[in-house]
Amino acid sequence: MCYHKELKATPKQLKERFTAKFPLEEDFEPKEFINGFEKPLCPVITNEDPGTIQLYHWGLIPHFELRIRQGNTLNAVFETLSKTKSYRNYLEQRCLIPATGIYEWKKVGRYKEKKKYSIADQQIFSLAGLWNRCIDPTTNLAMETYTIITKDGSAAILLDEQDWLENGRIAINTNEILIHLTPPQLGLFE
């Protein structure tokens, strides 16, 4: 699962990498360690507006949640996307989640150790995600949220970002084998 990530890229680097505008760039600060459990605001690029980098809270809030920030929706398991109540209504609301690294915890003896993974030849890469816009019942304000899609317990690092945004297909690298995946609701596995 992916609960921690790194995004050390500057707004200028993000705008260049994604050929997108970033209207709220002054509200973004590059960070070496981002903890999803803090529900931080992070840059995303949605299929609704692929030319704009927006800031969304990490942790998708489904439409049926009565309270904001309830439950753990930091990750959506690819294998069960179309069956899980929290995600099945959002398969058409796809996003790219920029990152410069992801962290996994590896057991070393009796303890767990933080290990960072990144892509050697690509400073900024994208994780596959789903997004939602909901209304906070206490403030009546819109809140945009997202979740990171995981496959086999690891974040889905996208190889074809445009194909994910436009068609809902994920091309990821698993154990050095390139595989193409399509959520069951959107079509057949390739």
Q: Is 103 exposed, middle or buried (0-12, 13-18, 19+ CB in 10 A)?
A: middle
Strand partners, 43: 55
Q: Residues 7-18: pLDDT tens digits?
A: 999 999 999 999
Q: Which domain does 116 fall in, by range?
A: 4-186
Q: Which residues contact 114 (CB under 8 A, 6 or more apart)?
A: 4, 103, 104, 105
CATH at residue 101: 3.90.1680.10
Number of domains in the chain: 1
Per-residue pLDDT band at 187 (split at 50, 70, 90): very low
Paired tokens of 183: 């959520």
Q: What is the pTM of this model?
A: 0.85
Residues 160, 147: contact at Cβ < 8 Å?
no
DSSP 38: G
Length of the chain: 190
CA angle, 155 as apex, 117 and 134 as ends, to 5°? 130
Q: Which residues contact 33 (CB under 8 A, 6 or more apart)?
A: 4, 6, 103
Q: Residues 49-96: pLDDT tens digits?
A: 999 999 999 999 887 775 555 567 999 988 888 888 888 889 899 999
